[in-house]
Amino acid sequence: MGKNHSKVVTTVSADSNTLEKPIGNNVFCAVDVETSGLRMSSRVVEVGAVKFNLAGDCYEYQSLVNPCERIAPGAVEIHGITDEMVASAPRAPDVMPALLNFMRGCVFIAHNAPFDVKMIGNELARMRVTPPDEPVVCTVRLGRKLIAGVPNYRLETLVNHLDIQVGALHNALSDAHAARLVFLECVGSLSPDTLISELPGMLGSFNEVAPPTVDDVEPTGDIFELEALARSRISIEMEYGGGTGRGPVVVTPIYLFEKNEQGYLNAYCHRDGIQKTYRLDRIIDFRRA
């Protein structure tokens, strides 16, 4: 059975000047993402977020994401999300604004936060959206300071050590809840008057940790630009002389390769919803989509 595409409740909000507020008066958002592969250039395929405070209020957001590329078998083995499950899911330009709205004004919490921030930041960079400035706290670093007696600080290890009851891990929403409960266990030993800026595991603001926004440039149509566009997964509208007669096609370049002395582009075709291969010598022109 596939996962629900989304579940949203957004009735908790936070005030400004977050860093100088005590943890007892703040709102937090634990976030986890699952990805299409094991590289930093991989795409997000699921987001899960839990907004909460120390008083016990708790609200959820979850969505599958169509990554516009195939999900690597190694990634499927970890999280169980298949190409079929995300085929009709919304794409990042629809999901990321909803996530940003959900977490606005909150302290961003994640287990191994640099990974989640960078993966979300990569999607925002492709969209040419400026990352938010919410503070980021990593529960791995927080746990190392405040939880003793564990062989390592993997999420599964901490869940077992603390007897945390959540669903199966490597599900974005379950992992977000697990990070929330690890965070609550850690700050339970601190005074509620502890300032956010004083929390162990504080990494800085989201926009400091996230990758920079992709330069807002218009490709000139030079075929050599495709490799850079593929690295950043920048979608293009392409005039292709492949004989389809269906006009321009929007694709997301994934990688270039050569076979039998002929160059090819592997890309996700947004019109057909699949990855396809295009001959470089048949690409007449392209522009940013």
10 Å CB burial of residue 108 (0-12, 13-18, 19+) is buried
Q: Are residues 19 and 158 in the same domain?
A: yes
- Domain boundary among the residues 209, 243, 264 is at 209
Q: Are residues 58 and 150 in the same domain?
A: yes
- From edge to edge, which strands make up the β-sheet containing 44-52? 6-8, 58-64, 44-52, 28-35, 107-110, 135-138, 202-205
Q: Are residues 201 and 234 in the same domain?
A: no
Q: Are residues 78 and 130 in the same domain?
A: yes
* Average pLDDT per 10 consecutive residues for the chain, totaling 289 residues: 43 60 93 90 94 95 95 93 95 96 96 93 88 94 93 91 86 95 93 91 90 66 81 85 72 89 90 88 86
Q: Are residues 203 and 245 in the same domain?
A: no
The pTM of this model reads: 0.81
Is residue 260 assigned to a domain?
yes
Is residue 215 assigned to a domain?
no
Is residue 217 assigned to a domain?
no
What's the pLDDT score for residue 87? 93
Is residue 216 assigned to a domain?
no
- Domain boundary among the residues 151, 176, 209 is at 209
Q: Are residues 192 and 250 in the same domain?
A: no
Q: Are residues 131 and 267 in the same domain?
A: no
What's the pLDDT score for residue 284? 87
DSSP codes, 20-75: GSBGGG--EEEEEEEESSSSTTPPEEEEEEEEE-TTS-EEEEEEE-B-SSPPPHHH
Using alpha carbons, select from 234, 224, 241, 240 the residue that is nearest to residue 289: 234
Q: Are residues 229 and 280 in the same domain?
A: yes
Q: For the chain, how many structural domains are there in total?
A: 2
Q: Are residues 44 and 107 in the same domain?
A: yes
Is residue 264 assigned to a domain?
yes
Is residue 218 assigned to a domain?
no
What's the pLDDT score for residue 214? 61
The CATH code of the domain that includes 14 is 3.30.420.10
Which structural domain range is residue 157 located in? 6-209
